[in-house]
Amino acid sequence: MSRWIGLLVFMTCCLLSPAESRRVTAAEIVIDTPMSPPAWALLERELLKANTVACQEFFQRYFDDRGYLECVERWGGDDGPDDAIENLQDWPTLHMLGGPDVVRDMVAKAWEGHLRQFTAAKTKDVEFARDGMYYREFPVMMDWLHNGEGLCVFNLMGLSAPHAPKFAERVRRFADFYVPAEDNPLNHTATANYDSKLKILRSMFNGSRGPLLRKATALDWAGDPIEIEGRFKPGHGERTFAEMLKHFEEYTDTLGDHPQNMLATSLAFNAFAQTHEEKYKRWLLEYVDAWSERAAANNGILPSNIGRDGKIGGEVGGKWYGGTYGWGFTVTDPVTGKKAHRSTVRLSLTGFGNALLLTGDQKYVDVWRRQMDAVNSNAKVVDGKKQYPQMFGDQGWYDFQSAPWEPGLLEIAYWSMRDDDLGRVASNPWIAYLQGRAPAYAESALRADLNRIRQRVAAMRQDSTTPDTRLSDDPMKFNPCSVDSLIHLVLGGINPGKQGSPLHARLRYFDPQHGRPGLPADVAALVDRLAADEARVTLVNVHQTEPRTVMVQAGAYGEHQIESLTLDGQSRPINDRRAVVHLPPGCGGTLTLRMKRYQNVVRFD
């Protein structure tokens, strides 16, 4: 039978470099009940292994010894620097789940190579990138749909290797492009992305060289002229450079603020998690609160343009729905000739999630829920069927669909854990599993990710491109890293996606013996229940002759607090964000953790 070793003080190194000696304390228990390795546990361990092997083959195929992506380097919204590093999406998460250190090392090599590669890469015709596409190791200026994609690796490296060289320096520098210095309300005079008085980012195009304070051109978006026919296959299907320019010819209204700029708050989140300097938290909340107020003043809906004068629709004739990527942004696709609806207001959800992680205040969830309800309240009946609008233009609501407008619905349910929100995602297989309605989900999800790896590697081996016929986003479709099931089942979390968002997870693990993040070798974890104040997880050591020790943390950034832990019907107080579990050979058991969410200051280690 499983037994307790009281609430001893456990001293161990955690997530530290070998030279560091910082130590943490946590409650300590032993689970000594024999458990034959469940199928899900063996599948988890195999999935970690298969991901690693596949990622190694991918890296060898597409990156050189410098860590450079072997491609034609270009600036642009189709295939720019952001896509180059996005090819490694989810790799830091694989390492922090328990993937071996070779994964961390490949990420580090690619990140460093990426910075050098695109600092050296220059444009001829696009004026602001003529001295390098990156300046101070950051995009010179681009919109946050693309900036976010370019940060989807870096913004999670703090969970994998927060003590890596230059990491602390970079998180500060990147955030400081947006966070005002104490003695300079327009942050750095060389950039001045943020207007502290009006609480806006002054342009949709912004970065290390500041905001673009003129309307964007198609060339700014498309990049320098390039040969296409017979050589490249752009992701949007363009057959000529003229079509690439045509694709972006309507993308000109970029002055002023847009909700997608809230993706920049992930930089401040990382900087605060690393340094705990209050200026980063203060700016993040100030900026998100300003957008909350704008939504409240606009019938609960985030306006898609704030002028440089601070007024809603100030750059687009007072239209709250105007601007590039706005509520009314419908353009003509030059390849198909059809209309395409391309609002990116949905990307701002990340900002509200960041504010929630820092404060635990559900008012940030309420803003998004009210917006969903406000949009969907404009539904109408067409041919006897209810239809919901997705867009708003000069003629009112349009693009009516059978499904409600509800991007971020899963996130809202996960963050609030309210019954009504969970009811709206009841058909989601993972939610059904957590509620006991889909017992086969765990194994099927793990097998699906294994199958995805096999398919992607097979496709990669058939790829006939060469470095001079390859665009930066071409390898992306072969990226084999498949961790969705592990995020759900091991962490009780949701995938951050490709916009550079932090990780929202109920649990996280560390290997105290080796001083690194992730499940120790041979340990598997299964979260099969989540409630607002509870998480249930089964831990098992599948090794039959050697013991293992795992540290369990509440929250990806330690933001939650474990109040008590129940094992075999016996409950003990914890009152910590962590607990240490010893697993003798071949043993396992189920822990029920009572917790308070969002009680602790976020941090990486």
User: Could you tell me which of 422, 295, 312, 291 has the C-alpha nearest to residue 355?
Assistant: 291
pLDDT band for 6, please (50, 70, 90 cuts): very low
pLDDT at residue 14 is higher than 80: no
pLDDT at 3: 53
**530 is a domain residue:** yes
Q: List, for residues 271-288, the tens digit of each pLDDT value.
A: 999 999 999 999 999 999
pLDDT at 181: 79
**551 is a domain residue:** yes
Residues in Cβ contact with 269 at an 8 Å cutoff, skipping those fewer than 6 apart: 280, 284, 354, 357, 358, 502, 602
Q: List, for residues 120-146, the tens digit of each pLDDT value.
A: 999 999 999 999 999 999 999 999 999
**231 is a domain residue:** no
pLDDT at 186: 54
Beta strands 507-511; 330-332: pairing state: unpaired
pLDDT at 227: 95
Segment 373-377 mean pLDDT: 98
Provide, rounded to the nearest whole percent, the portion of the chain with pLDDT above 90.
Answer: 92
Are 113 and 207 within 8 A, CB to CB? Answer: no
pLDDT band for 184, please (50, 70, 90 cuts): low
pLDDT at residue 7 is higher than 50: no
Are 236 and 246 within 8 A, CB to CB? Answer: no
**585 is a domain residue:** yes
Q: Which CATH number does the domain housing residue 513 bear?
A: 2.60.40.1180
Segment 414-438 mean pLDDT: 98
Domain enclosing residue 20, as ranges: 3-30+506-596
Q: List, for residues 148-182, the tens digit of each pLDDT value.
A: 999 999 999 999 999 998 999 999 999 999 999 76
The DSSP annotation for 38-90 comes to -HHHHHHHHHHHHHHHHHHHHHHHHB-TTS-B-S----SSSS-HHHHHHTTTT
**456 is a domain residue:** no
**90 is a domain residue:** no
Q: Comparing 188-197, 319-328, 384-393, which segment has the lowest mean pLDDT? A: 188-197
How many CB atoms are closer than 10 A to CB 225?
A: 14
pLDDT at 495: 98
Q: List, for residues 439-474, the tens digit of each pLDDT value.
A: 999 999 999 999 999 999 999 999 999 999 999 999
Q: Rounded CA gap, 323 and 302, in Å?
A: 13
Residues, the chain, total?
A: 605
pLDDT band for 185, please (50, 70, 90 cuts): low
pLDDT at 191: 63
pLDDT at 21: 31
pLDDT at 188: 57
Are 519 and 509 within 8 A, CB to CB? Answer: yes
Mean pLDDT of the chain: 94
Task: Please give the DSSP secondary-structure letter assigned to residue 384.
Answer: T
**Measured CA distances, 381 to 370, 386, 476 (Å):** 22, 4, 41
Q: Rounded CA gap, 201 and 206, in Å?
A: 8
Q: List, for residues 489-512, the tens digit of each pLDDT value.
A: 999 999 999 999 999 999 999 999
Q: Rounded CA gap, 424 and 70, in Å?
A: 44
Count the domains in the chain.
Answer: 1
**515 is a domain residue:** yes
pLDDT at residue 377 is higher than 80: yes
pLDDT band for 22, please (50, 70, 90 cuts): very low
**518 is a domain residue:** yes
Which amino acid is residue 228, in one-letter code? I
Q: List, for residues 224-252, the tens digit of each pLDDT value.
A: 999 999 999 888 889 999 999 999 999 99
Show the CA angle centred on residue 97, arms to residues 95 and 98, nearest 5°: 70
pLDDT at 236: 85
Q: What is the per-residue burial (b if ≥16 Cβ within 10 Å, else e) of 540-559? A: bbbbeeebbbbbbbbbbbbb
User: Could you tell me which of 525, 508, 510, 539 has the C-alpha nearest to residue 33?
Assistant: 539
pLDDT at 370: 98
